[in-house]
Amino acid sequence: QVQLVQSGAEVKKPGASVKVSCKVSGYTLTELSMHWVRQAPGKGLEWMGGFDPEDGETIYAQKFQGRVTMTEDTSTDTAYMELSSLRSEDTAVYYCATRVYCGGDCFDYWGQGTLVTVSS
Amino acid sequence: SSELTQDPAVSVALGQTVRITCQGDSLRSYYASWYQQKPGQAPVLVIYGKNNRPSGIPDRFSGSSSGNTASLTITGAQAEDEADYYCNSRDSSGTVVFGGGTKLTVL
């Protein structure tokens, strides 16, 4: 059974960076394509980016290009999402998500979410 | 703004059937997936592909597609189905996108 366990809540000041982790168990990270999705308070889901196995590279949503970096540490099966130049609009719950059994652009396993609050 | 359009809110009487739709040009080429999200919880995949349910998802949930519209149907809605529902697929540039979400109220 796949489990994705994320790091704890963060409070950051505008202009700072945040790095959220997502620890995988039940599978190795190399077997998965990890994606990141965020949800601002009272708003919908927003895809930020993820690994595309067809291209063998990480693809970022245009909105976040230049500000987001997604990395992986295969020795610890941990994925990371770092978002820089934070602003108040980045206050959101950040989820890692992946697909194990479903096919296509679906995500059947999600982390529990990490609340990032950006406030001066 | 999302390239997948959903109605913001839909309601259904207990035990009745409800259809939640998702519209977008990319749906002519790609299947939509559907997620249920309850307050304070992570989304849960309920439908993917042509009409596939992950293990543990009740068979009252089904999916379909026609042209640029994908639909999630709940046949015999239960009180526990009250939640936000999101579709996702790819956009015109081939990257992943989510619909804006539909709040389902079970009356």
Is pLDDT at B93 greater than 90 in this prediction?
no
Mean pLDDT computed over A26-38: 95
Q: Which residues of B touch A98 (CB under 8 A)?
A: none
The residue type at B85 = Y
The Cβ-side half-sphere exposure at A112, using a 13 Å CA radius, reads 7
| Cβ–Cβ under 8 Å, residues A13 and A119 | yes
- Identify the DSSP state of B81: G
Share of chain A above pLDDT 70, in %: 100
Q: Does B57 touch chain A (CB under 8 A)?
A: no
Q: How confident is the model at residue A55 (pLDDT cuts 50, 70, 90)?
A: confident
Cα dihedral A110, A58, B96, A17 sign: positive
Q: What is the pLDDT of residues B4-33, one digit of tens each?
A: 999 999 999 999 999 999 999 999 999 999
- In terms of Cα–Cα distance, which of B84, B88, B48 is closest to B64? B48
| Cβ–Cβ under 8 Å, residues A34 and A72 | yes
pLDDT, residue A13, reads 98
User: What tokens does B49 get?
Assistant: 């592909």
Q: Does B61 touch chain A (CB under 8 A)?
A: no
pLDDT, residue B2, reads 61
Q: Does A110 touch chain B (CB under 8 A)?
A: yes
Q: Name the residue facing B96 among A47, A101, A102 (closest C-beta).
A: A47
Q: How confident is the model at residue A44 (pLDDT cuts 50, 70, 90)?
A: very high
Chain A nearest CA to B86, separation (Å): 8
Are the Cβ atoms of A47 and B95 closer than 8 angstroms? yes
| Cβ–Cβ under 8 Å, residues B86 and B30 | no
pLDDT, residue B27, reads 94
CA gap A61, A36 in Å, rounded = 10
| Cβ–Cβ under 8 Å, residues A49 and A27 | no
CA gap B43, B96 in Å, rounded = 16
Q: How confident is the model at residue A61 (pLDDT cuts 50, 70, 90)?
A: very high
Mean pLDDT computed over B60-66: 97
Is pLDDT at B1 greater than 60 in this prediction?
no
CA gap B76, A58 in Å, rounded = 41
Mean pLDDT computed over A37-51: 97
Q: Which residues of B touch A102 (CB under 8 A)?
A: 33, 45, 48-49, 52, 54
Q: Name the residue facing B49 among A46, A103, A113 (closest C-beta).
A: A103
pLDDT, residue A105, reads 87
pLDDT, residue B46, reads 98
CA gap A41, A93 in Å, rounded = 8
CA gap B82, A116 in Å, rounded = 27
